[in-house]
Amino acid sequence: MTRIRELDALRGFAVCGIMLVNTWQHTRVPNAPATSVDLVVDQLFQSRFYPIFSALFGISFLLFLRGNSRWALLSRLFWLYCFGLAQGLFYEGEVLTDYALWGAVALLPASFIPGGWAQLALGVAGLAWGLLAKGGGSWLIPGLLLVGMGLWRLNPPRSLLLPGFAASALVSALLGYVAFTTGDWNAYSVAALAGALAYSLGLLLVLRPGLSAVLEPLGRMALTNYVTGTALIVLTLPLVSADPTRWAVVGLAAVTIAAQALGSRWWLARYRYGPLEWVWRCLTWFRRVPNRLESGRDHNRPLPDSGLP
């Protein structure tokens, strides 16, 4: 089974957005006046990228099960949880443990249900519960995981990309305006979800080989890039927080993403998996998994469990 390049590109796109938003969130000074950077990130990027990553995680769950047992998947989720615990030692707000727990609690039972409409309905119900009962945030993750699983099984036609993009962008803009003028959190959350869908569909509409070649390596090394990105945020926190203009947030995110894009491309020209992705696979299977490529830039060679980073 070869890698699905559009999924890798979408995951890489989500990694870029998450880096920007995480840098912005963790370097905010309490009670400081909002700058133009704060307003742009808050209205256009905040809460727009983790929904993409969450839906892709639900898809990856199914792709893993194509050639592996559910026991192997539970092992994989267990070690992801351990990665999250380790990251939590230095980074407040890690979400790897959430993905691992909800993967076991929500996705695993749902994987026994045939078809895709049931998972999609459960996902929408989960989003409503997370939004209305829990106030959104990370509580939307289980619903998003199930939505991703359901959509992958339903396999909607590509002809829906453009109308789907137009409709979701319109909903995001309208509800975003309502949230901005009224401060309604539910409107903001739904606007963010619609924005995540618009960004995803928009990227698929414009995705070309050049752009894909930049985003795919970032997506294939999503775990490594996420963890190293959060480590950089922690290390540079005093410096970035001291900038009253908040442009240091954009600078740090841009430099980190550029370095990760170049580093990921260089690494994957020599190895099948990123450093943490390789460790994750070795732990999952309790054996050393071959990693070094034997020849050249072979990005399309068959890879096991290729839907996961």
Note the pTM of the prediction, 2 decimals.
0.93
pLDDT per position as a tens digit, 262-285: 999 999 999 999 999 999 999 999
pLDDT per position as a tens digit, 79-106: 999 999 999 999 988 999 999 999 999 9
Q: Given this model, what pLDDT does residue 290 score? A: 95
Q: Given this model, what pLDDT does residue 1 score? A: 54
Percent share of the chain, pLDDT over 90: 88
Question: Any idea which of 177-181, 224-228, 305-309 has the lowest mean pLDDT?
Answer: 305-309
Q: Given this model, what pLDDT does residue 4 score? A: 93
Give the 3-state DSSP-derived string for the chain, with helices as H, strands as E and coil as C. CCCCHHHHHHHHHHHHHHHHHHHHHHCCCCCCCCCHHHHHHHHHCCCCCHHHHHHHHHHHHHHHHCCCCHHHHHHHHHHHHHHHHHHHCCCCCCCHHHHHHHHHHHHHHHCCCCCCHHHHHHHHHHHHHHHHCCCCHHHHHHHHHHHHHHHHHHCCCHHHHHHHHHHHHHHHHHHHHHHHHHCCHHHHHHHHHHHHHHHHHHHHHHCCHHHHHHHHHHHHCHHHHHHHHHHHHHHHHHHHHCCCCCHHHHHHHHHHHHHHHHHHHHHHCCECCCHHHHHHHHHHHCCCCCCECCCCCCCCCCCCCCCCC
Average pLDDT over residues 9-34: 94
Token pair in block for residue 159? 């002809």
Closest Cα partner for 10 from 175, 176, 152, 191?
A: 152
pLDDT per position as a tens digit, 185-223: 999 999 999 999 999 999 999 999 999 999 999 999 999
Q: Given this model, what pLDDT does residue 309 score? A: 54
Is residue 124 predicted with pLDDT exceeding 50? yes
